[in-house]
Structure 1
Amino acid sequence: AEGNRVLKKRYIDEAHEFFEKRGPVTIFLARFVPIVRTLAPIVAGAARMNAALFTAYNVLGAIVWGCGITLLGYWLGQFEIIQKLIEPIFILIVLISIVPIIWE
């Protein structure tokens, strides 16, 4: 049992070191990767990343993600082919989104 505690502590120490060096960029970029977006905050918390730094980069990532997706949708909406195929595109996006859920 003690070996597990040492191993887990080692992983947390490594995660802490990682988040000290690359935490802000990781939290920002995590917004753009579906599975990482869910796990990064948990690991950052376990690694005791600075809460203010985490919050700042998480909010920045959320703003860039939200505005970026909205602007991308607006830009793509300018193309006639996208307008004609919006329903099949939407169905494809939904199907692709649920594939990981079905896979697991």
Structure 2
Amino acid sequence: MVKTKRQGRLDYGVLASRYVRAFDDKWLQGGAAPDEPLIGSGDIQSLADLNNSFEVIRAMQVFPFDKQTVVFIIVVTLLPLLPLMLTLISPEDLMKRLIGILL
């Protein structure tokens, strides 16, 4: 995943750089035809679409889950064991242990 993300950022970075240079030449440096309207041009939408594609690659994660998902799975897995734990350990000791683990 790391290699794929790195390669995607490189590939899309090169593409985005070329597109932005062409956009700049056309619309900011006066390369557009005088009768070509900026409003309604597909160039701006294409620039936004390219940015969205780049954002997808930038947001890629090494693992297909995050810390919140791991914590949720642990809690959901251990929750049914709570009544059993309370028969083996007093609630006060259990709270002390939990606080010790979390802090």
TM-score under structure 1 length normalisation? 0.31
Flag the structure with higher helix content. Answer: 1
